[in-house]
């Protein structure tokens, strides 16, 4: 198994907004640094989150960088969470469920999503809408998989025990 910190390339994060004269600007352009290591072979990088829907988009150069917040797996209540996760080959998959609608985009490599009684393999360019199902992400290939996830808070469906806010599942 490779060392997580050595094997994942940085993610350039560009955040836009408006200055006090309502002129569109790039406010942040740097590597995303809010990373955690939820399991062996997995690196999760927080990109952005929101606290509500519709989201607030304040004007001005002095915005809160919500990509630096420390969150668990689910987004804030009524909000969203955007993260990019690198799965190294042979990662330790963790079966879990969130009460969210997840938009999943495979950016690089391939990844298996194991569910209760089935597995689906996603490859670079594939997209998925994941709707509160029990699942685990397993990289059974020989190369890193990089996957973007947008989690949107959803109403409870009453199945099993979902991951609670503040937890560190994938």
pLDDT digits (tens, 9 = 90+) for 113-136: 999 999 999 999 999 999 999 999
So what's the pLDDT on residue 61?
87
Sketch out the chain's domains with CATH numbers: 4-153 (2.60.120.10)
- Percent of the chain topping pLDDT 70: 92
pLDDT digits (tens, 9 = 90+) for 74-105: 899 999 999 999 999 999 998 999 899 999 99
- The three state secondary structure string of the chain is CCCHHHHCCCCEEEEEEECCCCCEEEEEEEECCCEECCCCCEEEEEEEEECCCCCCCCCCCCCCCHHHCCCCCCCCCCCEEEEEEEECCCCCCCCECCCEEEEEEEEECEEEEECCCCEEEEECCCEEEEECCCEEEECCCCCCEEEEEEEEECCCCCCCCCCCCCCCCC
Lowest mean pLDDT segment, chosen from 23-32, 43-52, 68-77, 78-87: 68-77
So what's the pLDDT on residue 39?
87
Residue 27 has pLDDT above 80, yes or no: yes
Residue 166 has pLDDT above 70, yes or no: no
């Amino acid at each position: 198994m490779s060392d997580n910190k050595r094997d994942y390339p940085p993610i350039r994060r560009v955040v836009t907004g408006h200055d006090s004269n309502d002129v569109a600007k790039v406010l942040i352009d740097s590597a995303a640094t809010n990373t955690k290591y939820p399991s062996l072979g997995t690196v999760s990088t927080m990109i952005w989150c929101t606290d509500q829907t519709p989201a607030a988009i304040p004007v001005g150069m002095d915005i809160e960088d919500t990509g630096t917040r420390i969150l668990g797996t689910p987004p804030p209540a009524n909000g969203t969470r955007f993260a990019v996760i690198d799965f190294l080959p042979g990662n330790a998959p963790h079966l879990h469920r969130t009460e969210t609608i997840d938009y999943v985009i495979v950016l690089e490599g391939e990844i298996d999503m194991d569910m209760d009684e089935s597995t689906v393999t996603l490859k670079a360019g594939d997209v998925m809408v994941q709707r509160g199902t029990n699942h685990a992400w397993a990289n059974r290939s020989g190369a890193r998989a990089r996957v973007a996830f947008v989690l949107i808070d959803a109403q409870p469906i009453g199945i099993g025990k979902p991951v609670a806010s503040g937890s560190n599942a994938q």
